[in-house]
Chains A and B, each alone.
Chain A
Amino acid sequence: MSGERASEERAAEAVLLELERVAGSADTAVTAPDDEVAEVLRRLYLETLGLLGATALPVEPPPELRARLLAGLTGDETQEVEPLAPPVPVPAPPRQAPAPPPPEPLAREIPLRGAAARRPRGRRRLWAATAFLGLAAAALAVWAAYLQSELDATAARLQRAEAHAESAARAHREELAAARGETAESGRRLALVTAPGAAVFSLRPPPGARQPSARATLFVAPDRKRWLLEARNLAPEPPAQDYQLWFVVDGIPLRGEVFEVRPGQTPRLTGEDLPPRTAAVWITLERQGGAPAPSAPMLLAAESSIRL
């Protein structure tokens, strides 16, 4: 009982002391807790303190506060504004429609004297109208080609924007799924600690153990059957060997799960078969596949549990 009380008081007191440091009191990396239990308890007390703020009545912020905040971000030099769509290449110049033979300059149409001046007035008008229509058709063809190229470029831009949006949506869906998974995992762990009657074995290296920085925590559900083991700082096992968990009942180590450690990973094991009257928990390094009884020195051991 005294271990339980001490563990809880340490966590509560550490959080209160953090709170006393007015400036930067919510720095979440103030202290590095020495084990999983302390970490979880510290978090629970932080959340408890945060809830004290909920007694204040909410106040609708003025719209300009939001605008001011976001405007301040725009001036942030570290901000990288990602384009909503990939850069759009400069569209190729519009295809030129085959130009009709250049009409005669209008000036030539109205000579005032000479042979042409003697052409009948009706023919001259017809010729001028034809030339005008030809020019207009050419201009329209050029304009149509330009519009077509603009349409093509816009369609391509939209396609790229759509692909980009789809990719961003996919990334956000994956991110949300990861967040849900992480929260659920965190929730599972915290459910054990917040459940009245849950117990914790805090495994530490015995004096002279080969991995002095290794730690592990075995959470036991209130039904005393379901459990969760989390190990930290265990080195990857040597070739042809595995880590093995032992449940000690009446002084006799009973064979538990065998597990491997990958670099940078936190091994997590769960089970629903904690032997009754388990008083201590050990971890040893055994031959691959496990051993019927411990054959190597203890790497980690917890000789008692604390109840939360």
Chain B
Amino acid sequence: MAIETPVRPSSSAVDDLALARRLADRRPETLGELYDRHAPALLGIARRILGDAGEAEAAVQETFLDLWSQADRFDAARVSVPTWLVLVLRSRALDRRRSPGGRPTTTAVAQKETATLGADGAAFERRRQRVLAALAELPAAQRQVLELIFWEGLSRGELEERLGLTRETVRNLALAGLKALRRGLRDEIRELI
């Protein structure tokens, strides 16, 4: 009576889920395990948004503290652990960048210190290449809008101003890009869930 050949959940997704559940036991070592699995990727994102190493580390630390304090409210049916971490980190990093002492950044700064992560590094790199390939498939305008939204946190109004487009055009570009990206990243999404 199975409805569909089950998607085999990746062991990584299952491990993340189990660890997230165990956080409710308030054991710091559980958070440590999640940190070991995700901190390099998160620090890479924070460095790309913030540029400054110290600020980036602070944003990563805040993100894991958020996970720790909200562990009992984490709902695995609504979002995967890595995505939750990435989106919270992005939010924290953008907050820091927009704060009075925050500094604009360039991606070049963040590219300097890349990790040597062995097998994990290979997995990161495979995923990175697949996402880059999916982005490359998008029309340039759609890609640009999505990247500005994600990496710089620009609102539609700010995009309108930056790109000299109407708000409706910005909206259409973002939606079309996101839809195309979802289809292009179907396999990666399955791995996450």
Contacts and interface: CB of A to CB of B under 8 A. Distances in A.
Main secondary structure of the interface of A (DSSP, over half): helix
A26 B117 CA distance: 27
Contacts, number: 265
B119 interface: no
Contacts of B31: 69-70, 73
B178 A175 contact: no
Contact of B26 (A24, A66, A79, A172): A79
B179 interface: yes
A58 B4 CA distance: 35
A61 B3 contact: no
B130 to A, nearest CB: 8
A191 B7 contact: yes
A20 B98 CA distance: 13
Contacts of B95: 22-23
Contacts of B101: none
B84 A51 contact: no
Query: How many B residues are at the interface, by size bracket?
Result: 35 or more
A78 B26 CA distance: 8
A57 B110 contact: yes
B128 A55 contact: yes
Interface in B13-34: 13-14, 17-18, 21-22, 25-28, 31-32
B8 interface: yes
Nearest to A19: B149
A26 B47 contact: no
Given A47-B83, A188-B4, A58 B41 contact: yes
A8 B14 CA distance: 28
Interface string A158-170: 0000000000000
A43 B193 contact: yes
Given A45-B178, A47-B83, A69 B64 contact: yes
Interface of A: 8-9, 12-13, 15-16, 19-20, 22-26, 28-29, 39, 42-62, 65-66, 68-70, 72-74, 76, 78-82, 172, 175-176, 179-180, 182-184, 186-188, 190-192, 194-195, 219, 221, 226-228, 270-272
